[in-house]
Amino acid sequence: MTEPVRSVVYVNGKYRPSEEATISVFDHGLLYGDGVFDTMFASYGYIFKIDQHLARFARSLRAIRLEIPTPIADLRRAVIDTVARNGLNNAYIKVVATRGISAEPLLDPRGCTPTVIIFARPYLSLADPAKVSTGLHAKVTSIRRVGMQALDPRIKSLNYLNLVLARMEAYAAGCDEALLLDDHGYVCEAPGYNVFLVREGHVVTPAYSILEGITRETVLELSAELDIPSEIRAVSPYELAVADEVFLTSTAGGLVPITRVDGQAVGSGKPGPIFSQLTRAYDALQESGRFGTQITRAAIG
């Protein structure tokens, strides 16, 4: 039996050992999925694009009308401190805010006391690293992404059941990952990932029904620096079938190639040259510290 990883977790302004970091069973995040989160990572001793992640977190908070007692500037310091207290140079970091606890465990968002959690673990990837080198097999699922009319995907909410069920459908079909369509039938996301494809040297990524991914943003920036043409637009399932390359992007995993969709090889059936070029540039960007915030113990008492 694997021993649990012991770490330090920030809960409502206090740093606690992971085995003592608890929240109420009556928390609205648990009972109703009423909350938001953001995930970031550290590599080479730097937290990558922390301010962009926290800006997205602040947008999610505003979108669900959740006010937390901790200003974003203080939360930024707490993120850095949490990583430092865990002694990590390469880390998977998550910030979570829930509506919190109300007087009674009912579906009423008024009068709640918010909950704020930050944890950091050794870096984790959504994809099996052993499979990334040869590429993942994906399935376009019958389960569709919850549409903008119901819950705007730009809100990084705690309600991921839709994505969990899509993954279960993909696993049941013997695939590694799911690809979801939106309610108009266009390709939008994979669970926890943005989607890219390459056609005739152009990098293309869906425009609608997606989370505004920080890694997606970075890939578009790198494409411009490398003089690789890019497009943000609607993407049909047909384009997956005829693409030269398909890959996913995520904070937890970076760039991940898809080499088979619905049983059909993508392009040559191997990770493609533009994917490889962008991956090298992304790795070099992390190592450079250009968008990094150094992990420091200066504020730890």
Q: What is the mean pLDDT of each run of 10 residues along the chain (301 residues)?
A: 71 96 96 98 97 98 96 97 96 98 94 97 89 94 93 96 97 98 96 97 96 97 98 97 98 96 97 97 96 77 41
CATH architecture of 129-287: Alpha-Beta Barrel (3.20)
Distance CA 104, CA 171 (A): 39
Domain 8-122 fold is D-amino Acid Aminotransferase; Chain A, domain 1 (3.30.470)
In the chain, which residues fall in CATH 3.30.470.10?
8-122
- pLDDT of amino acid 127: 86
Residue 24 token pair: 């109420």
Q: Beta-carbon neighbour count of residue 218 at 10 Å? A: 23
In the chain, which residues fall in CATH 3.20.10.10?
129-287
Nearest in space to 135 (alpha carbons), one of 97, 88, 177, 164 = 177
- pLDDT of amino acid 5: 63
- pLDDT of amino acid 131: 86
- pLDDT of amino acid 96: 98
pTM score: 0.94
193-199 and 46-48 strand pairing: unpaired
Distance CA 28, CA 101 (A): 6
